[in-house]
Structure 1
Amino acid sequence: MTLPPQLVVHRDKELMAEAAAARLITRIVDVQAARGTASVVLTGGRNGNALLAAIAASPARDAVDWSRLDLWWGDERFLPEGDPERNVVQAREALLDRVPLDPERVHAMPASDGQAGDDVEAAAEQYAADLAKAAGPEDHAGVPSFDVLLLGMGPDTHVASLFPEHPGVRETGRTVVGVHGSPKPPPTRVSLTLPAIRAAHEVWVLAAGEDKADAVALALSGPGEVQAPASGAYGTNRTLWLLDRAAASAIPADLYPPA
């Protein structure tokens, strides 16, 4: 049975980013203390990058053993290596270049000028193979059981690069897909699928701003993942929706009673 999501609402987007950063640092430290290594799936966009910047600014970041952290991505813009619009480039600027990561543990999605060339389907297969190779015998979804998987959500309820009514959101067999004709530029992307997302122990959905309010309310009302992909994003142990007050402002009272 899928557990209902837990909602955490902060005063504003700045406080949300700082609190999410503190929460993520704590989670990584706890997992590393218990198991030695930890794995996190990063998200791009304004909220994902704000969280990374908040980690970079936090004195507590040094509590993390960055050399024992695996980083993956939920989606990527299929652009050339080093393009400033790529999520991995923005993540490096916000945090990754400031901490002592093991480069072998930073699993960026393929670029359009990489080994797979400009074939986005081949790039998706390549990333799926990387995930499968990293999966252990206890992992049954063809991907590692990520400790935390971060997702931003768009005003149309998309998460990763899974858009309402698009083929990728209907995918049940593959763990990674090439995305064509994205309604948000650039049109070609690589994305984890919902089955891969659901392999994570914890899924955290980040949303801030009034422009996300209707989408948050819709996704939490359970319309179905094809119409609202964010409603199909959940973890095996816990699902957190980390919001600011503006993004939470349209949630029905029966789902989130006002204080």
Structure 2
Amino acid sequence: MATPPPKLFSFPDAEALAQQLRAYVLRNQNAALARHDTFRLAVSGGSLPATLAKALLAPSDGSPEDSPQFDKWDIFFADERAVPLDHEDSNYRLLKDELLSKIPAELGTPTVHTIDANHIQDDDPQELADLYQDELMRSFAAKDSVKLPVFDLILLGCGPDGHTCSLFPGHELLREKDAWVGAESNSPKPPPKRITLTLPVVTHAISIAFVATGAGKKEILRKIFDLEEGRSIPSALVNEGGGEKVSWFTDHPAVDGVSFPRRGSL
């Protein structure tokens, strides 16, 4: 039986997208807290942290359903660059600057799981990846007791080439089946050394969301959603593996010319 397809949402502007993304994230938060009193999510870099901040720092309507409970959030990184935590290329710094540093005290403070800064200068980022995998094990379970960690939500971006996390088209990391965290030593875009969640971990999450905006994304989104040649693109592999667990939050310019059915609200 065919896997149910992902959901493609398209909104007229950044305001509408942020409003719907807020509702989506908080729905996932509330479901996670009902399950295990913790909200475990992984986030990417790029433009995502700014969009996330716009969504989550908006005024609440006062209801429990519309309130972030940041003190119960465990934030991980879907990928990270092997640079100091205060470096301009650091996804942690980006998230800190855009969101973490702006959270009002009354909303609580999330627990943030960064890479081990003591190993960022290693020639091979594999040790950095192994240590981050150990960090996941401390939060989810030992690797010998669970095959894969189950994130409540993973929030992703999509590059112009269709890469997501630090999983790039044609790279051998796309075939990794066992490791939870992979190492990339020669990224096609700088900085070259990175770590990333592997494809099985991403698609095993309870919910997965992409945020992709702007006319610069329309060609790659058309390949991902409409064309047979796009099926091997990393973001398309997430669609294939995650199916209906995957939601795309886009604006109208990003899906101009895409024929895949789109929705205007959650």
* TM-score calculated relative to the size of structure 2: 0.84
Alignment partner of 1:142 out of 119, 144, 148: 148
- Matched length: 252
Structure 1 letter corresponding to 2:245: R
Q: Which residue of 1 aligns with 2:89?
A: 85
1:1-259 alignment, distance < 5 Å: 2-59=3-60, 63-99=67-103, 100-102=108-110, 105-111=111-117, 114-115=118-119, 117-118=121-122, 119-136=124-141, 140-143=146-149, 145-221=150-226, 223=228, 227-233=232-238, 234-235=241-242, 238-252=245-259, 255-256=260-261
Q: Kindly indicate whether the alpha-carbon contact (under 8 Å) linking 2:180 and 2:201 is maintained by their aligned counterparts in 1.
A: yes
State the one-letter code of the partner of 2:210: V
Separation in 2, partners of 1:185, 1:125: 21
State the 1:65 CA deviation: 2.0
Deviations 1:210-247 (A, max 9, x none): 11111112112374888300011154761101111111
**Deviations 1:49-69 (CA, angstroms, capped at 9, x unpaired):** 322233123336982222111
Unaligned runs of 5+ in 1: none
Contact 2:176/2:199 (<8 A) preserved: yes
Bigger mean CA offset, 203-212 vs 231-240: 231-240
Name the SS for the 2:57 alignment partner: helix
CA-atom RMSD, angstroms? 2.7
1:177 positional shift:
1.1
5+ residue gaps, structure 2? none
Higher relative contact order (CA 8 A, sep 6+): 2
Q: 148-157 or 64-73, which moves further after superposition? A: 64-73
- Bigger shift: 74-83 or 16-25? 16-25
* Distance in 1 between residues matched to 2:177 and 2:242, nearest whole Å: 16
In structure 2, what residue type is equivalent to 1:40? L
Give the conservation status (yes or no) of the 8 Å contact 1:42–1:72: yes
3-state SS in 1 of match to 2:47: helix
CA distance in 1, matches of 2:262, 2:91: 35
Task: Provide the rounded CA distance (Å) in 2 between the counterparts of 1:236 and 1:74.
Answer: 19
Structure 1 residues 215 and 47 mapped into 2: Cα distance closer, same or farther (>3 Å)?
Answer: same
Alpha carbons of 1:164 and 1:176: their partners in 2 closer, same or farther (altered >3 Å)? same
- The two structures have a TM-score, normalised by structure 1, of 0.86
Cα distance in structure 1, aligned partners of 2:97 and 2:8: 29
Per-residue CA deviations over 1:116-148 (Å, capped at 9, x if unaligned) read 6424110001111111232248984332x1111
Amino acid at match of 1:39: R
